[in-house]
């Protein structure tokens, strides 16, 4: 009985001990779990509180500017004040020997993408899971991160600014000037100039802009050489072509003669570089009262009428003949619509508006000097240059008549106040003409060539006639009655 009871007692004791142990284990596990949960919760909350903020994380910089704790909008303002404005105000000077042109980076559109930089700064540590973000943010706080903002400048503004500068910068070359006074020629010294080399200067400017540093650099230039030198001028003082025409000084010619004087003064002293083209229209300018021109006879629709600038075509014609005697190249020439009295047919040259001009080219390798003036009743034009021909060389121009151009049908105007059948010629028309002009070259008096130089056609104009249509009045003889 005793032993059995003792055995049962031992069994009960063992069961109690197992329960205690199990309870202890459960308690330990519970405590550990609670501690672990608390620790996890605390760590989680710390991670959340660290990464889930609406400001830029600690240690985040843009171009060395600390943006820690700033909102994205605040970061934009900070970068604008501390990064963009200082950049824009930086001086960038372009210099020359004795000149300085002051610019700033703003003039060339230099700027940082501060909005993009602020956005990148704010987005640091905001991708990935919570743990990786937390680790990344802690890394910023410990080691920092510096974001380089995007930087650019406006290449079009570079070109625009330099082209504007070029207009002020360039110093044109100065040709030697040739004048004639008292029968003697005097030539001035030539002077070289220079111009801004926009392409090479732009390369330098872009390098300076890329550096983002204030500074200065010397502009790249190109030398401009004069086209006419003093030596060339003094070699071009030989008379190589001359011509004169006559005019009248009678009553009513004052206006026309003043126009001749103005036109000669405009041409006189013109110096043409080798290859340069002379334009009579461009040289004279508009024939207006404001420019001193007077009314005189001009050709209008086949008739002579009064018009401002009448007579300048005689100066044009006289110069044309001097030029062809100098054997310069004619670029453009038109004959008059009607024949003129001061030169043979085929030897005239007309200008009118913008559709008729006299143009010729200095086709020599030396300058050409033009002289034009009037005497009491003559227009004198001379062409001076370098004589390339031997003394036995000469040239003349011959005109061959190719036939007439018949008058058009007469223009009739009917007048009811003129007796029927009566005809009055109010304008006598003219027969037209066709001619060819040939250039004939002589060497030591012998003809060596004959070539067609130009063709000219002068228009025919119709007679203008007034014809009466008034009927004759019938008369009745009445015998006188006497009482």
Report mean pLDDT in 10-residue bins for the chain, 483 residues: 64 65 59 48 77 91 95 96 96 92 96 96 92 90 94 96 94 95 94 96 96 93 95 96 94 92 97 97 93 84 78 97 98 95 97 93 97 97 95 96 95 93 91 97 96 97 92 59 32
- Beta 411-419 vs 100-101: how paired, if at all? unpaired
pLDDT at site 483: 30
Decide: 95 and 217 in contact? Cβ < 8 Å.
yes
Decide: 60 and 67 in contact? Cβ < 8 Å.
yes
pLDDT at site 472: 83
pLDDT at site 7: 66
pLDDT at site 41: 53
Tokens of 347: 């030897």
Map out the domains of the chain as residue ranges: 60-93+106-152, 155-229, 235-388, 390-472
pLDDT at site 46: 82
pLDDT at site 342: 96
pLDDT at site 479: 39
Q: At what angle do helices 155-169 and 198-211 cross, to 10 degrees?
A: 130
CATH 2.20.230.10 fits 390-472, yes or no: yes
The residue among 376, 195, 359 whose CA lies nearest residue 283 is 359
pTM of model > 0.85: no
The secondary element (H helix, E strand) that includes residue 265 is helix 254-267
pLDDT at site 298: 84
Residue 393 has φ and ψ, to the nearest 5°, of -85, 135
């Amino acid at each position: 009985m005793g032993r059995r009871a003792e055995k049962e007692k031992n069994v009960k004791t063992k069961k109690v001990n197992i329960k205690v142990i199990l309870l202890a284990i459960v308690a330990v596990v519970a405590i550990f779990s609670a501690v672990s949960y608390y620790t996890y919760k605390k760590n989680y909350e710390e991670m959340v509180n660290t990464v889930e903020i609406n400001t830029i994380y600690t240690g985040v910089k843009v171009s060395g500017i600390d943006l820690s704790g700033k909102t994205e909008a605040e970061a934009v303002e900070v970068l604008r004040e501390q990064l963009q404005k200082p950049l824009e105000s930086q001086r960038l000077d372009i210099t020359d020997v004795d000149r300085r042109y002051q610019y700033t980076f703003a003039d060339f559109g230099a700027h940082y993408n501060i909005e993009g930089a602020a956005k990148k700064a704010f987005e640091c540590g905001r991708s990935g899971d919570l743990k990786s973000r937390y680790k990344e943010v802690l890394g910023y706080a410990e080691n920092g991160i510096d974001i380089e903002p995007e930087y650019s400048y406006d290449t079009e503004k570079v070109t625009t600014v330099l082209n504007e500068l070029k207009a002020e910068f360039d110093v044109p070359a100065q040709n030697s000037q040739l004048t004639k006074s008292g029968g003697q020629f005097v030539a001035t010294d030539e002077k070289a100039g220079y111009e801004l080399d926009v392409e090479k200067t732009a390369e330098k400017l872009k390098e300076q802009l890329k550096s983002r540093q204030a500074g200065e650099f010397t502009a790249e230039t190109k030398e401009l050489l004069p086209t006419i030198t003093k030596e060339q001028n003094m070699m071009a003082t030989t008379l190589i072509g001359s011509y004169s025409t006559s005019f009248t000084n009678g009553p009513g010619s004052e206006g026309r003669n003043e126009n001749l004087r103005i036109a000669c003064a405009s041409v006189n002293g013109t110096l043409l570089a080798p290859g340069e083209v002379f334009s009579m229209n461009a040289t004279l300018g508009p024939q207006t009262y404001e420019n001193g021109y007077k009314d005189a006879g001009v050709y209008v629709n086949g008739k002579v009428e009064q018009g401002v600038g009448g007579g300048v075509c005689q100066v044009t014609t006289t110069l044309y003949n001097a030029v062809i005697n100098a054997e310069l190249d004619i670029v453009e020439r038109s004959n008059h619509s009607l024949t003129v009295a001061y030169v043979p047919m085929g030897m005239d040259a007309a200008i009118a508006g913008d559709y008729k001009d006299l143009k010729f080219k200095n086709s020599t390798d030396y300058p050409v000097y033009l002289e034009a003036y009037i005497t009491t009743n003559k227009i004198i034009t001379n062409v001076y240059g370098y004589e390339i021909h031997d003394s036995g060389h000469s040239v003349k121009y011959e005109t061959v008549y190719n036939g007439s151009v018949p008058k058009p049908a007469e223009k009739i105007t009917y007048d009811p106040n003129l007796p029927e059948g009566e005809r009055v010629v109010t304008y006598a028309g003219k027969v037209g003409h066709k001619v060819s002009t040939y250039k004939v070259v002589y060497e030591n008096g012998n003809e060596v060539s004959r070539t067609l130089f130009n063709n000219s056609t002068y228009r025919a104009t119709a007679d203008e006639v007034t014809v009466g249509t008034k009927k004759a009045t019938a008369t009745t003889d009445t015998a006188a009655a006497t009482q």
